[in-house]
Structure 1
Amino acid sequence: MSLAVAHPPGPDARTRILDATEAIIRARGVAGLTLEAAAKEAGVSKGGLLYHFAGKETLLHALLGRMAEWMRQDFAATVERQPEGPGRIARAMLDWGFGAAPGVVDERCDRAAAVFLACFHHDPALLDPARAVVAEIRAAIATDGLPPGHGQVIMAATDGLFMARIFNLYTPSPAELGAMHATLARLLETSP
């Protein structure tokens, strides 16, 4: 009888390659990304990388597709935690933008920011999958049962906080964040 402990399998090669690509982009930007560097970081041969991704563009496209799908799923999960009724999408946007746990939004913003900025600099069309998710959220907010502009203001405010963070324009204090959150939440209270 073997007493060996079964360990869950590690990420597959494709996932390791995408994780490695993200790490390289976060550390050095797209200019620092080579197929050789991504393969080495992922622990695969260059041929192994090319088996999954035909080149740098394919790799970047897959990375943005993965991030867009994560955005879609994460936002959908945030919506599911909201009570039914008018303003459900806007409440989710408020929670998604401000976060329930300190530091969680910061890590998510930092990961997305590095990838978005680097890929935008390389080829703005690479952001199309993320743009599609944002368009879906905007469409949902438009039919959320709130007075015109209420949900859009919440989305614009949370987007603005994201931009302030990724461009290091300013860092709101906890008191400022609390006041902004409360102000935006009042828009939901005045809705039907």
Structure 2
Amino acid sequence: MGATRQRREDRAEVILDAAEALLRRSGSRTLTIDAVAAEAGLSKGGVLHHYASKDALVTALAARKVERMSEGIGACAEALRGDPAALPLAMIAHARGVYAEECGFPDSLLVATAENDQAVAIMRGFLDGNLASIRDVEGHEGAGAALLFAVLGLMMSRSLGFHALEGEELERLFSALEAQARALPRQRET
């Protein structure tokens, strides 16, 4: 890869990092091209060169979030290869691992994404892909899909401020979800 192309890709990441920092700190209402440019130490034109609009920026943020989630879930699933419950267990392990560190960003990204059809399509693709993987193992959408939606519901309801579960309360929920996931192979055999 040429040095110029690498610098361009690095600058695109700097812009996404700046947008993410703004979302964490101040929420989706403050996400403007001008604010991102100031946060990144770039000109407005520099940001627009990479992301032609706020919608393009939000779409790129959603794509990066899905990529990171997929990588995290994939790493957890790899450790469980061969287990029919690998995907639900990996989703639970990933959610458990990122729950505390992601405070502030997912809620703002969730709000920004909901207003952006392309970003919604990216998130929908992530969900559809995981449902298809569960269907491949189970033969249908059943308990594994229910666990997927339970994990997403726990994370999204936190992101939206519907609960502030932490510590033991949260650990009990994750443990209950994990116990249900571990019971999946026996459920399919009966």
TM band (smaller chain): 0.7 to 0.9
Could you say which structure has the higher helix fraction? 2
Task: Note the alpha carbon deviations across 1:141-182, whole angstroms, 9 max, x for none.
Answer: 222348962212321221221122112222335333343334
Distance 2:107 2:163 in 1: 15
Separation (CA, whole Å) in 1 of partners of 2:29 and 2:173: 37
Equivalent in 102, 107, 110 of residue 108 of structure 1: 102
> 1:45 & 1:27 partners in 2: Cα distance?
21
Number of residue-to-residue matches in the alignment: 178
Task: Note the aligned Cα RMSD (angstroms).
Answer: 2.6
SS in 2 for 1:169: coil
Note if contact 2:131-2:141 (Cα within 8 Å) is conserved in structure 1: no
For residues 35 and 116 of structure 1, the distance between their equivalents in structure 2, rounded to whole angstroms, comes to 18
**Paired residue type of 2:164:** T
Secondary structure at the aligned position of 2:185 is classed as coil
Q: Which runs of 5+ in 2 are unaligned?
A: 1-6
Classify 1:182/1:50 alpha carbon distance in 2 versus 1 (closer, same or farther; 3 Å).
closer
1:155 corresponding residue in structure 2: 148
1:39 partner letter = A
Shift of 1:92: 0.9
One-letter amino acid of the structure 2 residue matched with residue 107 of structure 1: E
TM-score, with structure 1 as normaliser: 0.78
Aligned with residue 50 of structure 2, among 49, 52, 55: 52
CA contact (8 A) 1:98 1:158 kept: no
Q: CA deviation at 1:17?
A: 0.8
Mapping of residues 1-192 of structure 1, within 5 Å: 12-99=10-97, 104-108=98-102, 110-120=104-114, 122-145=115-138, 149-172=142-165, 174-187=167-180, 188-189=182-183, 191-192=185-186
Give the conservation status (yes or no) of the 8 Å contact 1:147–1:191. no
Provide Cα deviations, 1:5-57, integer angstroms capped at 9, x if missing partner.
Answer: xxxx9x82111111111222333333322222211211112222222122222
Structure 1, gaps ≥5 residues long? 1-8
Closer/same/farther in 2, CA of residues 97 and 50 from structure 1, 3 Å limit: closer
Q: For 2:139 and 2:89, locate their aligned partners in 1 and report how far apart those are by CA, in whole Å.
A: 11
Task: Call closer, same or farther: CA 1:109–1:152 in 2, change over 3 Å.
Answer: farther
Query: Does the C-alpha gap of structure 1 residues 53 and 83 become closer, same or farther in structure 2, counting only changes over 3 Å?
Result: closer
